[in-house]
Amino acid sequence: MKNNMTATKRAAFLGLATALSLLLSYVEVLMPPLYAAVPGIKLGLPNMAILYLLYSTDVRYAALVSLTRVAISSLLFGNVMSLSYSLAGAVLSLSVMWLLKKTKFFSEVGVSVAGGVTHNLGQVLVAVLLLDTPQIAYYMIVLTVTGTISGIFIGLCGAFLLKRLPHEKFMRF
Amino acid sequence: MNKQTTTVRRRHDILFIAVLLFLCAAAALGLYVFREDGDTVTVSIDGQLYAEYPLTEDRVVELISDGGFNRLIIEDGYAYVEEASCPDGICSSHRPIGHNGESIICLPNKVVIEIHRREQNQPDIIS
């Protein structure tokens, strides 16, 4: 990728990817909560963009876009508290997805499921630390089920995108 | 990536998902089977213990914190939040809690309401 992509093209592409992931964050903010009693149940739409980047480019670009998205979406739609939750989820899930991708043991769907579940895990861990309440960990039971289901959905969408949006072609311009 | 490796990976995916869901089901079942009735309600605000109430006495408490208020109701051995100032309303839509270890957590107001069991089980002396 490095050889056939100049700095300008790379900046434009990553800017576009960041804008897309922010748009997906916004769509997710607009969606009503599915089950209000347990916070954190969501589709994880921005992960579709991150998953695409992870598979089509490099973990460095995926991390760059993910961190930028977290910072901007917390400024736009959240607060300082939501920044720490999002950051923990994003860092943990991207690390796990990257490592699992490298093992080549799972397809995009398995990687995405692991990403969804560990995103929730990161947020629950931060909540346990910030509130000093280990009982919050019980949420993980529900969140693992919902994270798995949304991970399957995002993984299937991501796999479809990777097939239909041939990154090798359109990134050479 | 050829077709065969894709199939193998998809099989691994399905196995992984099945294991995750099985673990959740086992954990949920375990919690349900081993739950005990609680007898005490504790309230902490911003990590500090704020108050403790017996679950056996009905009462209404206004919990005032930096973030606002949460109105805690204790009724018929269960505790719930009737109304709160927080924007998400997660605490007030939470079902009533009454079993040992259950909790209602209001993240915006940093309020944690927990059920405990202070009295130990009487040993069964009739054998």
Q: So where are chain B's domains?
A: 1-34, 40-116
Question: Does A150 score more than 60 pLDDT?
Answer: yes
Partner A contacted by B7 (CB < 8 A): no
Whether residues B112 and A133 touch (CB distance < 8 A) is answered with yes
The ipTM of this complex is 0.85
Are the beta carbons of A74 and A23 closer than 8 angstroms? no
Query: In order of start, what are the domains of chain A with their CATH numbers?
Result: 7-30+45-170 (1.10.1760)
* Nearest chain A residue to B114, by CA: A135
Q: Which pLDDT tens digit goes with each residue over A11-21?
A: 888 999 999 99
Average pLDDT over residues A66-89: 91
Whether residues B27 and A141 touch (CB distance < 8 A) is answered with yes
Partner A contacted by B18 (CB < 8 A): no
Q: What is the CATH number of domain B40-116?
A: 2.60.320.10
Please identify which residue in the block is written with the tokens 């990687």.
Answer: A111
- From first to last of its 127 residues, chain B has per-residue pLDDT tens of 566 788 999 999 999 999 999 999 999 999 888 888 889 999 999 888 999 999 999 999 999 988 889 999 999 999 999 999 988 888 898 899 999 888 898 888 989 999 998 876 655 666 5
Partner A contacted by B101 (CB < 8 A): yes
Using DSSP's 3-state secondary structure scheme, residue B43 falls into strand
Average pLDDT over residues A140-163: 94
- Would you state the pLDDT for residue A96? 97
- Residue A37 has its nearest CB partner, among B20, B95, B107, at B95
pLDDT band at A173 (very low <50, low <70, confident <90, very high): very low
* CB proximity list for B113: less than 8 A, separation 6 or greater: B41, B42, B43, B70, B72, B79, B81, B91, B97, B103, B104, B105
Q: How far, in Å, CA of B72 to CA of B106, rounded?
A: 12
Burial A27-44, CB ≥16 within 10 A → b, else e: eeeeeeeeeebbbbbbbb
CA dihedral A92, A31, A143, B51 (to 10 degrees): 100
Whether residues A133 and B103 touch (CB distance < 8 A) is answered with yes
- Would you state the pLDDT for residue B74? 94
Are the beta carbons of A119 and A90 closer than 8 angstroms? yes
Query: Chains A, B: CB contacts under 8 A, how many?
Result: 74
pLDDT, mean over chain A: 89
Partner A contacted by B10 (CB < 8 A): yes
Whether residues B16 and A110 touch (CB distance < 8 A) is answered with yes
Partner A contacted by B59 (CB < 8 A): no
